[in-house]
Chain A
């Protein structure tokens, strides 16, 4: 499989007041095109930091990050903005929708950013929100909000979909529906999906599972037969 992203000995050090936190220590990882990659680890293991660096929201302190061969580890704000705009779709635990825009408008907002977006209505239908797309986030359930959030990420037709605890704020059934949606997008659109979670069973749906602890990768496991999300239990 082709390498979409290459992370080479990435470290990330935060200075929080007088305390220095080593969030990532010399972490290397390849992300392949078209795969579903689940990064597992307890809180503080560095998994979100890794995801943020992958998404161009943060830069590594040392080490290199290549996206389709381009070194982005020293990129300026302008390049990173372009990178996020054209290549990345983000899904957060708490959705982060714009409260003053309806579901449809939230998706349009993202679609307007790229040259060749998918059709807004179609994407919304795909995530099952054709009926409720004219509602505001405050009028939606958590699951509905997360669907809008996925539609917003997907409408740009990004190469890489990054999801930070996408089911963290949802109930069990809704969580599974959301995961199924991510699998569907991976399968139908070919987007690479990286999911960060502390919820171990979610790893069962991935092509590969990465385990992290204390800022380093402790294990990379390939999953010969990923389970469909409907069959995962936690």
Chain B
């Protein structure tokens, strides 16, 4: 077999361009597979380990307030494995730059081990339970309230051991001493709420402190406002939670939700889902196309080397040996691709792990090399390639030694279907006729190349789509729906008349009140938590739209329900729903209200009513919880400073700052988009290059004849280009809509409860994708036909084969 091995080696050297191209496609497939699978497994394992170690809660219950002892009662419910009662409350935070941010104050009972959602200390030390006496050598001062903060907030605000952060709680400014950073299983992905676009550590952070201190600061002596439970294995979740809610009923049930709906977990799971989906379909595209290319290469090789195969057989080689010889080409491609892909995959996975480390607060991020993925990668690569190789060599068996030495019958030209349309056919020049018939003659190769181009173009569309969707969201959210510059929220609802204090600040051009009420909406036995915002019916600072993007007016009476909630409840316009307020202060109120429209907000969702109707829901009058401001941008700095001074203000949301944060986050995704685009271009290049090389090799004789007839190099190259364009243009034309379908499929696989990217692809994106496609098509073509100048007219034409 060693002579055959030499022959194989020389074949590879002779066709090294094609070999490299197909190895590159395999390598990309394996790299994506290993990179994504490894990242998925590592992220998932880190998550699982962290959840287990930190005793992550199965259920959360929010109440207005309940006595501490209620947890003892819940502990006795069968099926409950563990209970933790705690205080968690959002308070205004005044940071270094004297800017308003939100702190989520969360209490813990020491020692930490028995707590559900216990903390993992990252730097510094745990807070003391009570005001501590100063120890020698320690900075702690008697009476200090020691706290831990989440690492991203610490980093975003450059907080270090011993630094002071100030919060506004119960109308008082309270200084807190930072003694370290910590994270918990519910703080992996830190966003204030589902209505926030992205994590922003400058405006939101978690502050962790002892239960005793939290009770003190928030005036909740002996009280809790949250109950976390873990379920015993095999417990009936529904029965257990019903019983827990019954126990908590007297204390003002605000919300109860499973781990699945916990924001951080949901975001993490969404990312994991997306990663898992991509780790399957992306490699499938690359390896599938690599297999198709190999099939084409080896089929052509067997056809071109018919004589050699005949000679080998005449010498006594068995068909099986010959088949193995040609399949060896595919196996070598697979091996090289797998080795290269593994190396690339490891780089990719470390790149991805680093990106995830930026987004997720996972202390024990596992950077394991996923041997299983590598082994699977090799098996996958070799398996698929061998299959392609074996399929392509089937015809070897049929080659008869004597027959193979006779010249092959001439390639059969034939009329194609298009020739039926003679008005079109007559208008085509000879080069187009040649191309069309040649494509029809090599239908298999044409089809495979076409499919490959369609996928590559589709991938380009998918890669670029993210930018469109995000741009669309920015445009909608920041420039169209939100017409205010600032959204100021108060620590508690105030009378509308008090807004005068804000309207009077210099620079305020317009101020419109709003009243936000967290609610539970019940309909037909189902219930969903949502938020209702009351707005002035004549508001000009907030634009609402229905799912078909038609503008909506704020109704004087009736509810504009969010699309998501409407879908979940199965409720529509005209239906009456029951609304239960969950404000957390005062009793919850029940009322029935008619749905008069469906509102679709890209970010945050939410339902809308008139300001007056919102007050009716709360059985109050003229209450507002916040104000939207349109300001003179020249005076915004002073205005911000003045707002910061107001203790009743809990948060100041600046649209500009939100936009900046958004753009900053977008920069990070540019990398992954670039990688995707690069991969798509490489894929397209490999396909077109391969098909052009084969077409060039098979038609050398024809091309030489044309040169002898007097065609110039450019003219001959033009003929090849026309043939290439025939499949490429078709590929691009089909690939663009296919890209749209891929985007739809991708979004369908990703969509979570929390957010969904709109399937928005700007027309210009199709133009870019088409331009990108023509770029790889032309480059691949030029690479493939480099040999045209060296075409030895005499040599090519002299011999019949």
Chain A residues packing against B (C-beta within 8 Å): 48-49, 52, 55, 57-58, 77-78, 81-82, 84-86, 88, 90, 92, 94, 96-102, 105, 108-110, 112-114, 136-139, 152, 156
Asked whether A99 lies within 8 Å of B413 as measured between CB atoms, the reply is yes
With a cutoff of 8 Å between Cβ atoms, the chain B residues found around residue A85 in the complex are: 709-711
With a cutoff of 8 Å between Cβ atoms, the chain A residues found around residue B434 in the complex are: 98, 100-101
A137-B430 contact, Cβ under 8 Å, with A52-B794, A84-B709, A100-B437: no
Contact of B711 among A48, A52, A81 (CB under 8 A): A81
Would you give the 0/1 interface string for B697-711, flagging 1 where the beta carbon is closer than 8 Å to chain A?
A: 000011011111111
In chain B, what residue has the closest Cβ to A149?
B705
How far in angstroms is the closest Cβ of chain B from A225?
34
A136-B709 contact, Cβ under 8 Å, with A92-B797, A98-B434, A100-B437: no
Would you give the 0/1 interface string for B762-800, flagging 1 where the beta carbon is closer than 8 Å to chain A?
A: 000000000000000000000000000000011001101
Q: Is B564 an interface residue (CB 8 A)?
A: no
With a cutoff of 8 Å between Cβ atoms, the chain A residues found around residue B705 in the complex are: 92, 96-98
User: Could you tell me how many residues of chain B have their Cβ less than 8 Å away from some Cβ of chain A?
Assistant: 30
Q: Is B586 an interface residue (CB 8 A)?
A: no
Q: How many A-B residue pairs have CB under 8 A?
A: 91
CA distance A88 to B710 in the complex (A): 8
Asked whether B437 lies within 8 Å of A113 as measured between CB atoms, the reply is no
Asked whether A136 lies within 8 Å of B433 as measured between CB atoms, the reply is no
22 A-B pairs within 8 Å (CB atoms) are namely: A48-B798, A49-B794, A52-B794, A55-B708, A57-B708, A57-B793, A77-B712, A77-B713, A86-B710, A90-B709, A96-B704, A98-B706, A99-B412, A99-B702, A101-B413, A101-B433, A102-B413, A112-B429, A112-B430, A136-B413, A152-B709, A156-B710
Q: Is B491 an interface residue (CB 8 A)?
A: no
With a cutoff of 8 Å between Cβ atoms, the chain B residues found around residue A100 in the complex are: 411, 413, 433-434, 437-438, 441
With a cutoff of 8 Å between Cβ atoms, the chain B residues found around residue A49 in the complex are: 794
Closest 5 CB pairs of A and B: A85-B710, A136-B413, A100-B437, A96-B705, A138-B412
Q: Is B143 an interface residue (CB 8 A)?
A: no
Asked whether A78 lies within 8 Å of B712 as measured between CB atoms, the reply is yes
Q: Is B316 an interface residue (CB 8 A)?
A: no
Q: Is B410 an interface residue (CB 8 A)?
A: yes
CA distance A86 to B712 in the complex (A): 12
A57-B794 contact, Cβ under 8 Å, with A81-B707, A112-B430: yes
CA distance A48 to B413 in the complex (A): 30
CA distance A78 to B701 in the complex (A): 20
How far in angstroms is the closest Cβ of chain A from B468?
42
Q: Is B409 an interface residue (CB 8 A)?
A: yes
Contact of A82 among B710, B794, B797, B798 (CB under 8 A): B710
In chain B, what residue has the closest Cβ to A93?
B800
CA distance A133 to B295 in the complex (A): 37
How far in angstroms is the closest Cβ of chain A from B420?
15
Contact of A58 among B702, B713, B793 (CB under 8 A): B793
With a cutoff of 8 Å between Cβ atoms, the chain B residues found around residue A81 in the complex are: 707, 710-713
Asked whether B712 lies within 8 Å of A94 as measured between CB atoms, the reply is no
With a cutoff of 8 Å between Cβ atoms, the chain B residues found around residue A105 in the complex are: 430, 433
Q: Is B315 an interface residue (CB 8 A)?
A: no
Would you give the 0/1 interface string for B648-680, flagging 1 where the beta carbon is closer than 8 Å to chain A?
A: 000000000000000000000000000000000
Chain B residues packing against A (C-beta within 8 Å): 409-414, 429-430, 433-434, 437-438, 441, 701-702, 704-713, 793-794, 797-798, 800
CA distance A114 to B711 in the complex (A): 10
Asked whether A96 lies within 8 Å of B413 as measured between CB atoms, the reply is no
How far in angstroms is the closest Cβ of chain A from B799?
8
With a cutoff of 8 Å between Cβ atoms, the chain A residues found around residue B704 in the complex are: 96
CA distance A113 to B414 in the complex (A): 24
CA distance A78 to B706 in the complex (A): 14
CA distance A58 to B430 in the complex (A): 27
Asked whether B413 lies within 8 Å of A138 as measured between CB atoms, the reply is yes
With a cutoff of 8 Å between Cβ atoms, the chain B residues found around residue A101 in the complex are: 413, 430, 433-434, 437
With a cutoff of 8 Å between Cβ atoms, the chain B residues found around residue A77 in the complex are: 712-713
B412, B438, B441 interface centre (most CB from chain A within 10 Å)? B412
With a cutoff of 8 Å between Cβ atoms, the chain A residues found around residue B437 in the complex are: 100-101
How far in angstroms is the closest Cβ of chain B from A79?
11
CA distance A125 to B709 in the complex (A): 21
Asked whether A84 lies within 8 Å of B710 as measured between CB atoms, the reply is yes
In chain B, what residue has the closest Cβ to A88?
B710
In chain A, what residue has the closest Cβ to B407?
A94
With a cutoff of 8 Å between Cβ atoms, the chain B residues found around residue A109 in the complex are: 430, 706, 709
How far in angstroms is the closest Cβ of chain A from B255?
72
CA distance A74 to B409 in the complex (A): 39
With a cutoff of 8 Å between Cβ atoms, the chain B residues found around residue A84 in the complex are: 707-710
In chain B, what residue has the closest Cβ to A106?
B430
CA distance A84 to B437 in the complex (A): 27
In chain B, what residue has the closest Cβ to A134?
B415
CA distance A109 to B70 in the complex (A): 95
A108-B430 contact, Cβ under 8 Å, with A81-B707, A100-B437: yes
In chain B, what residue has the closest Cβ to A102?
B413
How far in angstroms is the closest Cβ of chain A from B657?
64
How far in angstroms is the closest Cβ of chain B from A133?
13
How far in angstroms is the closest Cβ of chain A from B31?
40
Contact of A90 among B410, B412, B708 (CB under 8 A): B708
CA distance A105 to B411 in the complex (A): 16
With a cutoff of 8 Å between Cβ atoms, the chain B residues found around residue A108 in the complex are: 430
How far in angstroms is the closest Cβ of chain A from B411?
4
In chain B, what residue has the closest Cβ to A111?
B430
CA distance A97 to B701 in the complex (A): 9
B433, B438, B441 interface centre (most CB from chain A within 10 Å)? B433
Asked whether A98 lies within 8 Å of B710 as measured between CB atoms, the reply is no
Asked whether A110 lies within 8 Å of B412 as measured between CB atoms, the reply is no
With a cutoff of 8 Å between Cβ atoms, the chain B residues found around residue A98 in the complex are: 434, 702, 705-706
How far in angstroms is the closest Cβ of chain A from B601?
59
How far in angstroms is the closest Cβ of chain B from A165?
10
B413, B414, B438, B701 interface centre (most CB from chain A within 10 Å)? B413
Given known contacts A100-B411, A110-B710, A137-B410, what 13 new A-B pairs fall within 8 Å (CB)?
A52-B793, A78-B712, A81-B710, A81-B712, A82-B710, A92-B797, A94-B800, A96-B704, A97-B705, A98-B702, A100-B434, A109-B709, A113-B711
Asked whether B800 lies within 8 Å of A136 as measured between CB atoms, the reply is no
